[in-house]
Amino acid sequence: MDHDAPTPPGVNTLPPLPDRQDTPTGPDRFNRGQHRVRTLLTILGVGVLAVVVTQTVSYVRHEAASTGGRLLFGTTHPASAPVVVKPHPIAQPTQVVIAAIGVDAPLVPLAANPDGSIKPPDKFADAGWFEPGPEPGEQGTSVIAGHVDSKTGPAVFYRLRDLKQGDTVVVVGANGDHATYRIDGAEEYAKAAIPRQVYEASASPSLRLITCAGVFDQRIHHYEDNLVVYASLVP
């Protein structure tokens, strides 16, 4: 996983997340050179781009004029007159379920590194929520990050790039309570150019799913980009 995701609001610094020191394996490793694109906050690494050969799916890549990122699908900007959804905070979130891509994973709290970047989950099968920020379901923008792959193969957010607008993300708490988000869109950013807009709160509670993406630099063992998926809480 990459460690170069910037820190959400509430933390003074906005450096990228740290990078995993592993060489990627699996189908995506052999296609890395075919899609030179970057994705969001460097939490875990997954590549999404113009052409993803492993999935035999073509993604049309659009430039997102206001953010400097590359829009993969949907929208990353709230509607001019959004439907305001009442916050539904999930205390002690323990599980994240993204049925469309087969994710049903433990959700662990993530802290900030001394430099302000987000510490990635210790386990490649876990996802993590940024504890210093808003809880899932709370007013503001919550952040969940996960690795894209490891030396042994795909990690929890390996298929994050396969999401589509309208897919859902469910965050479950220790008491069984849950909050459901609907996917709005996804955008890729160079790690050094992730805009603060990624963390800006909308009229209703929102969520960002983040992993690594783009080219894996064998010299420094880092992914170059981050993939950020935008989602909004549903009633």
3 state DSSP class of 185: strand
Alpha-carbon gap, residue 189 to 212, rounded angstroms = 10
Domain boundaries of the chain, sorted by first residue:
27-77+86-233
Res. 113: pLDDT tops 80: yes
pTM of the model: 0.73
Q: What is the pLDDT of residue 135?
A: 94
pLDDT tens profile 158-197: 999 999 999 999 999 999 999 999 999 999 999 888 888 7
Q: What is the pLDDT of residue 78?
A: 61
Question: Which CATH code for domain 27-77+86-233?
Answer: 2.40.260.10
Q: What is the pLDDT of residue 70?
A: 85
Contact 17, 116 (CB under 8 A): no
Place of tokens 């504890």: 131
Res. 5: pLDDT tops 90: no
Alpha-carbon gap, residue 1 to 50, rounded angstroms = 22
Contact 120, 145 (CB under 8 A): yes
Beta strands in the chain (DSSP E): 51-52, 57-58, 62-63, 70-74, 93-98, 103-110, 127-130, 141-146, 149-150, 153-154, 168-173, 178-190, 206-217, 222-233
3 state DSSP class of 178: strand
Contact 190, 224 (CB under 8 A): yes
Query: Nearest-5° angle of CA 60, CA 145, CA 2?
Result: 80
Written as one letter, the residue type at 142 is S
Q: What is the pLDDT of residue 13?
A: 29
pLDDT over 70 percentage in the chain: 69
- Binned at pLDDT 50, 70 and 90, residue 43 comes out as very low
Q: What is the pLDDT of residue 199?
A: 80
Q: What is the pLDDT of residue 226?
A: 92
